[in-house]
Amino acid sequence: MPKVKVKRKKPVLDMTPMVDLAFLLVTFFMLTTKFAPEESVIVDTPSSVSEIKLPDTNVITLSIGKEDRVFFGVDGQQTKEALLTKMAGKYGVSFTPEETKTFSLLTNFGVPMNQLKSFLAMDPEARKSVKQPGIPIDSVNNQLGDWVHQTRLTNREVVIAIKGDVDVNYSTIQRVIDILQERKINRFNLVTDMESKPQN
């Protein structure tokens, strides 16, 4: 009797579903990932046990960096375009459509009105390296108050978040809070880091 030859076949693994799944997940993560926006000022926020999350939209962020420089930022491109138009009218500065477009893409900025035009005209790389002086907050030249006020006229929904650095002098924070209270804003958020609640 001849030997029966058993044909051995290599096991074939169909990997198609695995590729499907993998790429489905990859695309999901690629589409949902939002890279952190570029900040023009580094702010080291203090920590607190508060667990309230800041909303994504309709937020004015007033960043107060070291050396007491105040930066203004608001989300929403249309909001920013309308806001710049209003501020331009108020301060008698005119902006080209390109400058308005540039402005609507900024996360935040810290230059007084009279320097804003030249600041927007720079190329993006130069804008990163320039040292922004901060928005004037003194009572004679209260541009921050105008920015906040005009934003609230543009978008009724905005809430205000103060993002202060650990080392900022309280007098600056006090001044910013006073500016808000002058505009009848008595509710705002302080942006903080996580900290675990003590158990005892």
Nearer to another protein, 43 or 121 (CB): 43
DSSP string of 91-127, one letter each residue: HT----HHHHHHHHH-S-B---HHHHHHHHHS-HHHH
Q: Check residue 171 for interaction with another protein (CB under 8 A).
A: yes
Nearer to another protein, 1 or 52 (CB): 52
Among 6, 12, 42, 105, binds another protein (CB under 8 A): 12
Q: Check residue 196 for interaction with another protein (CB under 8 A).
A: no
Cβ 120 to another protein, closest distance in Å? Answer: 27
Exposed, middle or buried by CB within 10 Å (0-12, 13-18, 19+), for 92?
Answer: exposed
User: Which amino acid is residue 159, in one-letter code?
Assistant: V
Residues whose CB is less than 8 angstroms from the CB of residue 177 and which lie 6 or more positions away in sequence, other chains included: 162, 188
Q: Check residue 85 for interaction with another protein (CB under 8 A).
A: no
Q: Check residue 93 for interaction with another protein (CB under 8 A).
A: no
Q: Check residue 145 for interaction with another protein (CB under 8 A).
A: no
Among 38, 50, 90, 153, binds another protein (CB under 8 A): 50
Residues 16-45 that bind another protein (CB under 8 A): 16, 18-19, 22-23, 25-26, 29-30, 32-33, 45
Q: Check residue 51 for interaction with another protein (CB under 8 A).
A: yes
Contact (CB, 8 A) for 42 and 167: no
Strands of the sheet with 70-74, listed across from one edge: 70-74, 59-64, 159-164
- CB environment 57-82: b (16+ within 10 A), e (fewer): eebbbbbbbeebbbbbbbbbeebbbb
Q: Check residue 129 for interaction with another protein (CB under 8 A).
A: no
Among 49, 122, 126, 130, binds another protein (CB under 8 A): 49
Residue 101: other Cβ atoms inside 10 A: 15
Residue ranges binding another protein (CB under 8 A): 12, 14-16, 18-19, 22-23, 25-26, 29-30, 32-33, 45-54, 56, 64, 161, 163-174, 177, 181, 186-195, 197-198, 200
